[in-house]
């Protein structure tokens, strides 16, 4: 049984004949009769009685119609839902590492969702890069640039990184490092200056943090996971780079929708405005590093679907 079949019951009740119902629903009269018979067999109920050439609903039919009318009301309310919501409507899938999702995004997500009542936020946590060509995510937040691809980038914020080592130790502390595939990140570039053999290798910063907290290991951590360690007098903290790392946002030129568009829904493309909302959510006010289009001279296609934040 489906909604189209249930609409036939209401149409026959309102019009009084199969012919009237078929005209209202724009389907063949024989189709009305056939589908109504199918409903009666499925329910085991007689829904209409013929009297003076008019189809009159039975008591059982009236009970069924009460539910049909409630369903019609709910369907109409669903159709009007987007009209009552301001801003983007739909599901926004953000890909990021576990730590960024836990320490940076999730504490601020409630404010972001409260400001965008039509939005559902989905976190996709992994250290692997997502493939936008397969619609694996709408946004990706990363602390480093993609290895390949042409992306327009907008900065979300700065993150400082620190090198921690025990303040006093009888032996050389165990050095914690990141995997070779992350060799280009500032953390690894700094660790190479130590010219020591890594004794622990992981891409999980929480593992490195726990080893450092035991006062027997050394390693580099971003500031959002090491606030407690900075106050630990048994540890020595050193800024690992002169300039902080960037948390940034952007879009593939071939998939970035026109900046001049105003009315939109997610699933049809993520707009610069969505990135701006995310930037405000993170508590920073920073202008984009570069723009791909503007209202006066826009060359990007309108049939688009995704953005990148890294």
Residue 306 has pLDDT above 60, yes or no: no
pLDDT of residue 217: 93
pLDDT of residue 207: 94
Q: Which residue has the higher pLDDT, 206 or 289?
A: 206
Distance CA 188, CA 182 (A): 7
Residue-wise pLDDT for 57-97, tens only, equals 898 888 988 888 888 888 887 777 666 656 677 888 888 88
Quote the pTM value: 0.52
Range in 141-145, 245-249, 305-309 the model is least confident about: 305-309
Instruction: Give the percent of the chain with pLDDT over 90.
Output: 14
Distance CA 200, CA 203 (A): 10
Residue-wise pLDDT for 121-169, tens only, equals 999 988 777 777 777 888 888 776 666 666 666 677 778 899 999 987 6
Determine the length of the chain.
310
Q: Which residue has the higher pLDDT, 6 or 235?
A: 235
pLDDT of residue 301: 28
Instruction: Give the percent of the chain with pLDDT over 70.
Output: 70
Residue 176 has pLDDT above 90, yes or no: yes
Please list, residue by residue across 286-304, b when 16 or more beta carbons sit within 10 angstroms of its beta carbon and e when fewer do.
bebeeebbeeeebebeeeb
Residue 300 has pLDDT above 80, yes or no: no
Residue-wise pLDDT for 103-119, tens only, equals 888 888 888 888 888 88
Distance CA 255, CA 76 (A): 33
Please state, rounded to an integer, the average pLDDT across all residues of the chain: 75
Residue 204 has pLDDT above 70, yes or no: yes
Residue ranges of domains in the chain, CATH in brackets: 3-84 (1.10.10.10), 92-158+245-309 (3.40.190.10), 161-239 (3.40.190)
Range in 187-201, 212-226, 272-286 the model is least confident about: 272-286
Which distant-in-sequence residues (6+ apart) come within 8 Å of 98 by Cβ?
125, 126, 127, 204
58 sits in the region (left: phi over 0; alpha: psi -120 to 50; else beta) called beta
Residue 310 has pLDDT above 70, yes or no: no
């Amino acid at each position: 049984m489906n909604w189209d079949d249930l609409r036939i019951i209401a149409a026959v009740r309102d019009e009084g004949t199969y012919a009237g119902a078929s005209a209202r629903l724009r389907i063949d009269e024989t189709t009305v009769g056939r589908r109504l018979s199918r409903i009666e067999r499925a329910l085991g109920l007689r829904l209409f009685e013929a009297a003076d050439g008019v189809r009159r609903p039975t008591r059982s039919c009236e009970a069924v119609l009460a539910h049909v009318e409630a369903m019609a009301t709910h369907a109409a309310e669903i159709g009007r839902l987007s009209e009552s919501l301001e801003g983007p409507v739909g599901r926004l899938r953000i890909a990021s590492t576990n730590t960024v999702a836990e320490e940076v995004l999730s504490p601020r997500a409630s404010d972001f969702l409260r400001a965008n009542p039509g939005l559902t936020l989905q976190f996709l946590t992994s250290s692997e890069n997502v493939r936008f060509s397969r619609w694996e995510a709408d946004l990706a937040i990363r602390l480093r640039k993609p290895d390949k691809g042409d992306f327009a980038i907008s900065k979300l914020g700065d993150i400082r990184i620190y090198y921690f080592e025990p303040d006093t130790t009888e032996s050389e502390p165990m050095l914690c490092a990141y995997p070779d595939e992350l060799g280009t990140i500032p953390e690894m570039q700094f660790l190479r200056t130590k010219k020591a053999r890594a004794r622990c290798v992981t891409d999980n910063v929480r593992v490195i943090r726990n080893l450092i907290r035991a006062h027997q290991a050394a390693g580099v951590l971003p500031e959002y996971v090491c606030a407690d360690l900075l106050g630990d007098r048994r540890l020595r903290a050193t800024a690992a780079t002169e300039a902080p790392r960037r948390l940034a946002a952007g879009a593939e030129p071939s998939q970035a929708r026109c900046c001049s568009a105003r009315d939109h829904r997610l699933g049809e493309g993520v707009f610069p405005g969505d990135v701006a909302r995310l930037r405000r959510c993170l508590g920073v006010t920073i202008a984009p590093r570069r723009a791909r289009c503007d209202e006066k001279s826009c060359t990007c296609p309108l049939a688009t679907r995704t953005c990148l934040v890294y």
